């Protein structure tokens, strides 16, 4: 069985592990058992008709005497591109708007309050090619571009916060390109944007050909449903990046991504989950799915033969909670919508138990990091 045909770890476990042991295996892999969310039959029917994976889970918190539950429903959408990569640019964008728009409608039926799409969701992940055209034509304004206007319509129609990661063109600063997530409130207002802080230079990820490290730092967006942040793709490999969103008060951190199996799949289930534990917050990891073929061969200076595709984007989107529990992932091979109901009170409850923020020695770290970035830094190595 090839990687592209392997549906999911969860399905293999259900098929091969006896029921008596399966609960314990799941506990070790995913933390405490989550209740399945009772999704409307109309949503399940729509998902089957439109051929995408639909799953729902509940993250519960303990009842409190002074605070009512702070329940929010979050939706994560992963998808393949709809048209071939050499189709006209506007047709590709329009087709993706239609596909994802249909999935957002199902999310609304499921009662989702905040929805997040995958990285650069309106285009193929063409940054492997190092070609400028036609890929730079997918870039658009974060404030009033075609996709932002589309997301404003979705937000207003469904009373839903929309997190829309796009390739941004910043006309005010000379048409500079950025990898950016736009956050639209449920009232249809553009709350702001968060640019990708860390740009990979690994294998075929030739992204610095198109855009550089973001300059928006670590914004956190106060929405009607909670404080959210967006740590785009490669930023998940940097623990301090997660930390700074948390320091600024994020209760949910989204990680819209585009990553392939041979490069990152073994660490994918770990990183966002670890970040949720370390930072007393919920994390949401979203990855695109499918294999995208490009007409012109490309290489990346790594000794591999010229090839036409990036590899298989393995989906497997999931949500992790601060207590270490996480949802099963979506399919590795199919479009999907993951709906999770989370009680944000869990963040403080876990923080009160483990006290990572209280016991963190941030002043000591800051002082030593300040020294470490100086050109004349001398490591504190004790020798005999």
**Annotated active-site residue in 10, 60, 119, 140:** 119
Contact (CB, 8 A) for 117 and 255 = no
**Annotated active-site residue in 151, 233, 281, 284:** 233
From 270, 278, 292, select the one nearest 245 (Cα to Cα).
278
Reply yes or no on whether 196 is catalytic.
yes
Beta bridge partners of residue 36, listed in sequence order = 57
* CA pair distance 178, 172, nearest whole angstrom: 13
Taking CA 115 as the corner, what is the angle to CA 352 and CA 344, rounded to the nearest 5 degrees? 15
Burial 277-312, CB ≥16 within 10 A → b, else e: bbbbbbbbbbbbbbbbebeeebebeeeeeeeebbbb
Contact (CB, 8 A) for 340 and 59 = yes
Reply yes or no on whether 119 is catalytic.
yes
What separation in angstroms does the CA of 185 have from each of 87, 145, 146, 163, 168? 32, 16, 17, 9, 19
From 346, 327, 352, 349, select the one nearest 338 (Cα to Cα).
327
From 317, 246, 231, select the one nearest 278 (Cα to Cα).
246
From 263, 255, 268, select the one nearest 310 (Cα to Cα).
263
* CA pair distance 180, 120, nearest whole angstrom: 8
- Of all helices (H) and strands (E), which one includes residue 115? strand 114-116
From 327, 324, 322, select the one nearest 286 (Cα to Cα).
327
Q: Helix, strand, or coil here: 370?
A: helix
- Of all helices (H) and strands (E), which one includes residue 227? strand 226-230
Contact (CB, 8 A) for 80 and 290 = yes
Q: Helix, strand, or coil here: 289?
A: strand
Question: What letter does residue 383 receive in the DSSP assignment?
Answer: -
* CA pair distance 147, 105, nearest whole angstrom: 16
Listed in order, strand segments (DSSP E) in 135-207 are 161-170, 176-184, 190-195
Q: Helix, strand, or coil here: 282?
A: strand
* CA pair distance 359, 370, nearest whole angstrom: 20
Which residues are part of the catalytic machinery?
119, 196, 233
């Amino acid at each position: 069985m090839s990687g592209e045909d392997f549906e999911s770890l969860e399905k293999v476990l259900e098929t091969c592990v006896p029921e008596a042991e399966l609960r314990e295996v799941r506990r070790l892999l995913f933390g405490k058992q989550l209740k399945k969310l009772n999704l409307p039959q109309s949503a399940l029917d729509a998902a089957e008709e439109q051929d995408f994976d639909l799953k729902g889970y509940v993250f519960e918190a303990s009842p409190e005497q002074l605070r009512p539950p702070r329940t929010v429903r979050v939706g994560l959408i992963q998808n393949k591109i709809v048209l071939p990569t050499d189709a006209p640019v506007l047709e590709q964008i329009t087709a993706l708007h239609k596909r994802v728009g249909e999935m957002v409608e199902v999310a609304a039926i499921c009662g989702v309050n905040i929805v997040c799409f995958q990285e650069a969701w309106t285009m193929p992940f063409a940054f492997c090619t190092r070609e400028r055209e036609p890929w730079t034509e997918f870039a658009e304004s974060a404030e009033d571009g075609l996709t932002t206007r589309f997301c404003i319509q979705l937000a207003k129609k469904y009373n839903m916060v929309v997190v829309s990661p796009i390739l941004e063109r910043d006309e005010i600063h000379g048409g500079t390109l950025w990898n950016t997530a736009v956050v639209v409130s449920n009232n249809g207002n553009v709350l702001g944007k968060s640019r990708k802080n860390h740009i990979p230079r690994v294998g075929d990820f030739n992204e610095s050909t198109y855009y550089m490290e973001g300059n928006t730092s670590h914004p956190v967006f106060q929405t009607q449903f909670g404080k959210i942040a967006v740590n785009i793709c490669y930023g998940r490999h940097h623990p301090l990046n997660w930390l700074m969103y948390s320091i600024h008060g994020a209760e949910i951190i989204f990680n819209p991504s585009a990553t392939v199996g041979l490069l990152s799949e073994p660490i994918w289930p770990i990183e966002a989950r670890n970040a949720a534990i370390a930072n007393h917050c919920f994390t949401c990891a979203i990855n695109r799915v499918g294999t995208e073929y490009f007409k012109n061969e490309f290489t990346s200076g790594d000794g591999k033969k010229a090839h036409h595709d990036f590899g298989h984007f393995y989906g497997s989107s999931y949500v992790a909670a601060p207590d270490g529990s996480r949802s099963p992932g979506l399919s590795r091979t199919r479009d999907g919508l993951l709906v999770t109901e989370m009680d944000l009170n869990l963040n403080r409850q876990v923080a009160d138990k483990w006290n990572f923020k209280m016991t963190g020695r941030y002043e000591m770290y800051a002082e030593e990091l300040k020294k470490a970035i100086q050109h004349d830094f001398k490591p504190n190595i004790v020798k005999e």
